[in-house]
């Protein structure tokens, strides 16, 4: 298909005037009304939360702008105090970072470099990719048949002397979780041998009762760190703030590995967002409602889906991921990257309600074209 043909096909499918515009798609209002026209291509590949930032975070960013000429020490102290209050820990158990991504790099440097790292596979690879560049050996343990962490296999692959073990719950890209009791048992067994990192980036989005946060272990003496981010339910991915909770000695070592101090606007936004309970509740509610709706639609179309607890689905498309990405791009939607070895699956992030409806229509059209 030539470039011109593809453009014509897009116009036919979605109406004229919907081609890529400057800036990022479908972000920029603080309300949950969906009346703004969609901007194509829809950006459903990065697990962002396009409902954010919430109203309180927006107001805080505007107010903090004047302090853009200052370093953010006071802002950082206020955020640490707010996180400590929220997580019910003293401030010495909190380490903030420029996104939890920075904290993953710091953990890789401090515990993984020139050592060994165990993880499930596929999972969120940022820590392992960085550790590998620092000379680490990675032990990748395949997910089980339900695409969940295989606790027994992970334990078997983590002898004493391992640098750290990375557990992502819910897991990215599958969105699957381990039940609370099983995860706790695994964490306690592993923590006797090595540092356990539990990445809870999506924990605010889980259905009640399916799993549990390991934050209570991070409040005690366990050799374990829990990671959280403001990029998901808070909708602040571009403002780059995350945090770690753990034992004071672990947090002290982590803080010494900070690369750059977090930015003033992000710190202000995150502090305000912690108090925006209305926005967080609505954000969660909209994401969960559409997770159910899009999952049901995919299953109706005969597409297998993992049991995702994140703001994304993991869908078996039946075609190689490279082809699926082109097929969806032709229908105006950018979807997730490959996650080897599951190359006929695709991670598709949830967008706003209208975007998710457009996604369902595009998937129907994709399936219809193959029937
Ligand atoms: C599981 C997980 N951890 C950490 C991150 C990094 O998030 P951030 O650096 O934006 O806090 C992501 C981002 O998608 C993620 O999926």
CATH number (domain holding residue 229): 3.40.640.10
Q: Are 311 and 51 in contact (CB under 8 A)?
A: no
What six digits make up the tokens of 194?
Answer: 């090595």
Same domain? For 182 and 328 the reply is no
Residues 76 and 182 in one domain: yes
User: Are both 159 and 268 inside the same structural domain?
Assistant: yes
The reply to whether 105 and 119 lie within a common domain is yes
Kindly give the distance from the C-alpha atom of residue 281 to the centroid of ligand 1, in angstroms, as a whole number.
20
Clarify whether residues 204 and 240 are in a common domain. yes
Instruction: Indicate which residue's Cα is closest to atom 2 of ligand 1.
Output: 201
- List phi, psi (to 5°) of 198: -110, 110
> Over the chain (371 residues), what is each successive 10-residue block's mean pLDDT?
42 41 53 79 97 96 98 98 98 98 98 97 98 98 97 98 98 98 98 98 98 98 98 98 98 96 98 97 97 98 97 97 98 97 97 96 95 81
- Residue of the CA atom closest to atom 6 of ligand 1: 101
Domain match, 357 and 345 both: yes
Whether residues 31 and 77 share a domain: the answer is: no
- Of the residues 274, 303, 328, which one is the last residue of a structural domain? 274
Question: According to the model, what pLDDT value does residue 71 have?
Answer: 97
User: Do 206 and 331 belong together in one domain?
Assistant: no
Domain-terminating residue out of 243, 274, 305:
274
Say how many Å lie between the CA of residue 201 and the centre of ligand 1. 6
Q: How far apart are CA 198 and CA 49, in angstroms?
A: 21
Cβ of 171 below 6 Å from ligand 1: no
Residues 261 and 328 in one domain: no
For residue 314 and ligand 1, the question of a CB distance below 6 A is answered with: no
Return the ligand 1 atom nearest residue 103 CA. 9
CATH number at residue 301: 3.90.1150.10
- How many structural domains is the chain composed of? 2
> 309 lies in which domain range?
3-53+278-370
Residue 358, token pair as written in the block = 């457009």
Domain end position, chosen among 258, 274, 290: 274
pTM check: above 0.75: yes
- Candidates 46, 95, 201, 239: which one to mutate for ligand 1, based on the most atoms within 8 Å of Cβ? 201
CB atoms within 10 A of CB 296: 12
Q: Is residue 201 within 6 Å of ligand 1 at its C-beta?
A: yes
Cα dihedral 347→352→358→361 (10° resolution): 60
pLDDT for 32 equals: 79
Least Cα distance to 53 among 272, 297, 259, 312 occurs for: 272
80 lines ligand 1 (CB under 6 A): no
- Spatial contact of 330 and 354, defined as CB atoms under 8 Å apart: no
Residue 46 CA: nearest ligand 1 atom is: 14
Is 26 found in the same domain as 150?
Answer: no
- Looking at the fold, whether 198 and 236 belong to one and the same domain comes out as yes
The residues, any chain, with a CB within 8 Å of residue 108's CB and separated by 6 or more, are 117, 127, 128, 130, 131, 134, 136
Q: How far is Cα 35 from Cα 210, in angstroms, rounded to an integer?
A: 34
pLDDT at 22: 45
- Give how far the C-alpha of residue 206 lies from the chain's centroid of Cα atoms, to the nearest Å: 12
Same domain, 36 and 156: no
* CA 360 / ligand 1 centre spacing (Å): 25
């Amino acid at each position: 298909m030539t470039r011109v043909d593809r453009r014509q096909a897009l116009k036919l499918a979605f109406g004229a005037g919907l081609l890529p515009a400057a800036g990022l798609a479908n972000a920029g209002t603080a309300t949950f009304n969906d009346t703004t026209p969609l901007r194509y291509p829809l950006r459903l590949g990065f697990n962002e939360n396009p409902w954010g930032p919430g109203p309180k975070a927006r107001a805080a960013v505007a107010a903090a702008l004047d302090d853009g000429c200052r370093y953010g020490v006071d802002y950082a102290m206020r955020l640490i105090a707010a996180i400590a209050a929220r997580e019910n820990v003293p401030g010495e158990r909190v380490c903030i970072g420029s996104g939890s991504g920075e904290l993953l790099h710091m953990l890789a440097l401090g515990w993984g470099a020139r050592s060994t790292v165990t993880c499930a596979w596929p999972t969120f690879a940022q820590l392992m990719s960085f550790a590998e560049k620092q000379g680490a050996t990675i032990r990748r343990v395949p997910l089980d048949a339900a695409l969940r962490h295989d606790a027994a296999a992970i334990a078997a692959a983590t002898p004493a002397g391992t640098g750290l073990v990375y557990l992502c719950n819910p897991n990215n890209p599958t969105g699957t979780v381990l039940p609370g009791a099983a995860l706790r048992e695994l964490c306690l067994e592993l923590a006797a041998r090595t540092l356990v990192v539990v990445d809870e980036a999506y924990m605010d989005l889980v259905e009640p009762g399916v799993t549990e946060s390991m934050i209570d272990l991070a409040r005690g003496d366990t050799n374990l760190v829990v990671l959280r981010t403001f990029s998901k339910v808070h909708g602040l991915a571009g403002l780059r703030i995350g945090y770690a909770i753990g034992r004071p000695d672990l947090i002290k070592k982590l803080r010494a590995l900070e690369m750059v101090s977090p930015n003033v606007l992000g710190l202000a936004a995150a502090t305000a967002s912690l108090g925006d309970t209305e926005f967080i509740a609505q954000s969660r509610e909209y994401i969960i409602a559409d997770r159910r709706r899009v999952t049901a639609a995919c299953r109706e179309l005969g597409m297998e889906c993992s049991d995702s607890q994140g703001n994304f689905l993991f869908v078996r498309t039946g075609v190689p991921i490279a082809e699926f990405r082109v097929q969806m791009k032709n229908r105006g939607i950018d979807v997730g990257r490959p996650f080897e070895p599951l190359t006929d699956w695709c991670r598709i992030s949830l967008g706003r309600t209208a975007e998710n409806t457009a996604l369902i229509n595009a998937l129907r059209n994709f399936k219809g074209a193959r029937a």
